[in-house]
Amino acid sequence: MIPVTKPFLPPKTEYEKYLDGIWQREWLTNMGPLASRLEMELKSYLYLNHLLFVTNGTVALQMAIKALDLKGDIITTPFSFVATTSSIVWEGCTPVFVDIDKESLNIDAAKIEAAITNKTSAILATHVYGNPCDVETIEKIATKHHLKVIYDGAHAFGVQVNGKSVFEYGDISTGSLHATKLYHSIEGGMVITKNPELLNKIAKIRNFGISGYNTFSELGINGKNSEFHAAMGLANLPYINEIMRKRKELMQYYDEMLFQKGNLKAVKPQWHTSSENNGAYYPVVFESEALLLKIKNHLERNEIGTRRYFYPSLAAALPYLKPQSLPVTDDIAKRVLCLPLYYDLSEEEVMMISRLILRIQNN
Ligand SMILES: *Cc1c(COP(=O)(O)O)cnc(C)c1O
């Protein structure tokens, strides 16, 4: 069985070394030494000044919205994981969907201004598959209309744009360190901001709003993460460059087999011209949903997993929102499929999967 993804695991002994320390200190959670060390190492690896290690990428988004005190409407993308939209609703705001760009599959920055009203407080956009949004245009629009910007960077670990970390953009960027992501701490998330006061506020929100001994400064939540999760993050971090290298190599094999040697009737998302793919996903947009289904079903019969990521459109699928159609998103969501990509996948397997896909298509 070839799954669509598989979490990377470090050598068990390297994780165990961290466990020995936990047993010695008997400090299991609540901003412990490993959690602090992971924050420092992530800041250094990602070239960031301010970063918090939190429970997960969803709570990171919720705390970001809370910290910016957003109200009313938040402009967002319907082409993302459900947590992007649910966080907005969870925080009592209303998602206003703007259609995506058909090449980048990110929110179409050219369509944002038309959606702004006096109820709009922010833009929450996802760097889909790690491909940076049009951050410059979004920044201009936000400045002009006095809107806050949050980026859901759950896919964007290690991504640079214009020579700096993509997490530097927006008032706040969030990340996910979930086991299915490129780099993980089993469960985990990150909150990043350039604003130290805002970071301080989120640090308090993360810890129930506690500001001192028996004092509270905010409405808070439990957004902390444990020493065991931090340990996995620390044990995985030395491998991240190798993980990305390997995944990018596998992506090149797919490219070669499917598009250079093969005639796959599909396209790949167009990448931001000042950024490089981090190897997080291998999505292809087929020329029709019929072709996607034919290939997906045949692969399944051959025990090869794929994922319709993202399908369906969030604007159409959520029981707590009135269904809405957005032409580009509806069309792309029907035709996009992510192929298997993970560290342990071999070149031979990529070739076998690619040959099978082409054979199914050309039959
Ligand atoms: C995974 C993901 C999240 C949620 O992150 P968790 O750590 O699983 O809570 C949010 N947004 C996007 C785009 C994701 O892919």
CATH number of the domain encompassing residue 34: 3.40.640.10
Among 238, 253, 286, the domain-final residue is 238
Among 238, 268, 299, the domain-final residue is 238
Q: Rounded mean pLDDT of 85-105?
A: 98
- Please give the full DSSP string across 164-192, using - where no structure is assigned: EEGGGSSSEEEEE--TTSSS--SS-EEEE
Q: Quickly count helices (H) and strands (E) in the chain.
A: 12, 14
Q: Report the alpha-carbon distance of residue 56 to residue 172 in Å, rounded.
A: 15
Q: Rounded mean pLDDT of 140-165?
A: 97
Residue 16 lies in a domain: yes
Nearest ligand 1 atom, CA 128: 13
pLDDT at 363 over 90: no
Nearest ligand 1 atom, CA 60: 9
pLDDT at 141 over 90: yes
Q: Which amino acid is at 136?
A: E
Question: Of 331, 267, 336, nearest to 296 (Cα)?
Answer: 336
- Please give the full DSSP string across 90-106, using - where no structure is assigned: HTT-EEEE-PBPTTT-S
Same domain, 161 and 31: yes
Residue 4 lies in a domain: no
Residue 1 lies in a domain: no
Residue 7 lies in a domain: no
Residue of 155, 176, 225 with the most ligand 1 atoms within 8 Å of its CB, for mutation:
176
Among 238, 257, 281, the domain-final residue is 238
Same domain, 130 and 232: yes
Work out the burial of residue 109: count CB atoms within 10 Å of its CB; fewer than 13 is exposed, 13-18 middle, 19 or more buried.
buried
Task: Please list every protein residue whose CB sits less than 6 Å from any atom of ligand 1.
Answer: 56-58, 80-81, 83-84, 126, 152, 154-155, 176, 178, 189
**How many distinct structural domains can be found in the chain?**
2
Report CA 10 to chain centroid distance, whole Å.
Answer: 22
Q: What pLDDT is attached to residue 14?
A: 98
Nearest ligand 1 atom, CA 87: 10
Residue 69 near residue 202, CB atoms below 8 Å: no
CATH number of the domain encompassing residue 350: 3.90.1150.10
Same domain, 148 and 258: no
pLDDT at 332 over 90: yes
Q: Rounded mean pLDDT of 33-49?
A: 98
pLDDT tens string 194-250: 999 999 999 999 999 999 999 999 999 999 999 999 999 999 999 999 999 999 999
Output the CA 154–ligand 1 centroid distance in Å. 5
Which tokens hold the place of 186? 């089993």
Q: What pLDDT is attached to residue 193?
A: 98
Q: What pLDDT is attached to residue 308?
A: 97
CA-proximal residue: ligand 1, atom 2 (nearest): 154
Same domain, 257 and 231: no
**How many CB atoms neighbour CB 359 within 10 A?**
12
Same domain, 147 and 179: yes
Same domain, 225 and 307: no
Query: Three-state SS for 65?
Result: helix
Residues of the domain holding 29? 12-238
Residue 148 near residue 173, CB atoms below 8 Å: no
